[in-house]
Amino acid sequence: MEYTISKLAKLANVSARTLRYYDEINLLKPARVNSSGYRIYGQKEVDRLQQILFFRELDVDLETITTIMNNPNFNQTEALQRHYKELVQKRARLDKLIETVKKTIAHEKGEIIMQNNEKFEAFKDQLIAENEQQYGDEIRQKYGNDVVENSNAKFKNMSKEDYDAMTRLGEEILELLPKAFATNDPTSPLANELAKKHKEWLTFTWPSYSKEAHIGLAEMYVADERFKAYYDKVVDGGTEFLRDAIVHFIKQQK
């Protein structure tokens, strides 16, 4: 069966403008253009559009989707299996949030007493799930499943006070990074303070701290583009500077 752009747009509940844009960025090309100049889409394009919409539902940006789907090694069945797994996880997170809202309403009405840790449990679960989705494979490969599971458990059982303190410390690290970077010296007092704060931030979730693991994480920041982008968005070159500051700081420790 074949579809014009308007019929495919209606079928998929997207705009024709969106489909034209997908064509422009080489994400979804029509099977052919007929003699009247109309884009014509076949079953292959219908299936590809479904994949695109799965990715979009999981908040994957268009540039990444284009890179993934235009890779000659892209496997549609494997992608569907990953989509299924991630959507089930997303549903579980939403169910947890719904349950938390329901309990909060009952608490406000005086029908139940809700403990403070219960109020934030769903948000912690969501953060853990997001980290797993983005970095889980790399972290587990580097540190092992036990370390990651223990770290997740420590984070999940964290008190609100510790959670707030960890969040503030993370913000302080991002604020201090450009100031330390401006010294152009990863051994400067500001750089040492930066590395020290990073160590303190890690201890909130790490089951145990080790110098080797800290250096290994800093090296991963530089090697993995996703980690690198997080710190480089604050200051270009900030990830390498943070790594160098951490290495110097640790070498100073006895």
DSSP state, residue 183: T
Q: What is the pLDDT of residue 185?
A: 97
**pLDDT grade for 119, boundaries at 50, 70 and 90:** low
Q: What is the pLDDT of residue 135?
A: 61
pLDDT greater than 80 at residue 96:
no
Averaged confidence pLDDT in the chain: 87
* Helix 43-57 with 5-12: angle, nearest 10 deg: 40
CA distances from 15 to 19, 34, 39, 50, 52 (A): 7, 20, 14, 14, 14
Averaged pLDDT, 47-61 = 91
Q: What is the pLDDT of residue 128?
A: 67
Dump pLDDT digits (tens) for 130-171: 666 666 666 777 667 777 777 777 777 777 788 889 989 999
Averaged pLDDT, 188-207 = 94
Question: Residue 97 and residue 91: Cα distance in Å, rounded?
Answer: 10
118, 103 Cβ separation under 8 angstroms = yes
Among 9-18, 108-117, 174-183, 214-223, where is mean pLDDT lowest?
108-117
**pLDDT grade for 94, boundaries at 50, 70 and 90:** confident
Strand partners, 3: 41
For the chain, give every domain's residue range.
3-69, 76-148, 159-252
Q: What is the pLDDT of residue 219?
A: 93
pLDDT greater than 80 at residue 106:
yes
Q: Could you tell me which residues come within 8 angstroms of residue 33 by beta carbon, excluding any fewer than 6 positions away?
A: 39, 40
Question: Residue 26 and residue 31: Cα distance in Å, rounded?
Answer: 13
**21 half-sphere exposure, CB direction, 13 A CA radius:** 9
Calculate what percentage of the chain has a pLDDT beyond 70. 88
Task: Look up the CATH number of domain 159-252.
Answer: 1.10.490.50
Amino acid identity, residue 157?
A: N
Dump pLDDT digits (tens) for 28-43: 999 999 999 999 999 9
Averaged pLDDT, 206-211 = 88
More confident residue, 107 or 71: 71
Averaged pLDDT, 178-200 = 97
Strand partners, 4: 40
- Residue range 3-69 in CATH 3.40.1280.10: no
Q: What is the three-class DSSP state of 26?
A: coil
**Residues 80/85/90/94 CA torsion (nearest 10 deg):** 120
Q: Which residues of 37-54 are buried (b: 16+ CB within 10 A; e: fewer)?
A: eebbbeeebbebbebbeb
**254 half-sphere exposure, CB direction, 13 A CA radius:** 0
- Record the tokens describing residue 123, joined without a space: 């948000």
Q: In what order do the strands lie in the sheet with 39-41?
A: 3-4, 39-41, 32-33
9, 18 Cβ separation under 8 angstroms = yes
Q: What is the pLDDT of residue 118?
A: 65
Q: What is the pLDDT of residue 8?
A: 97
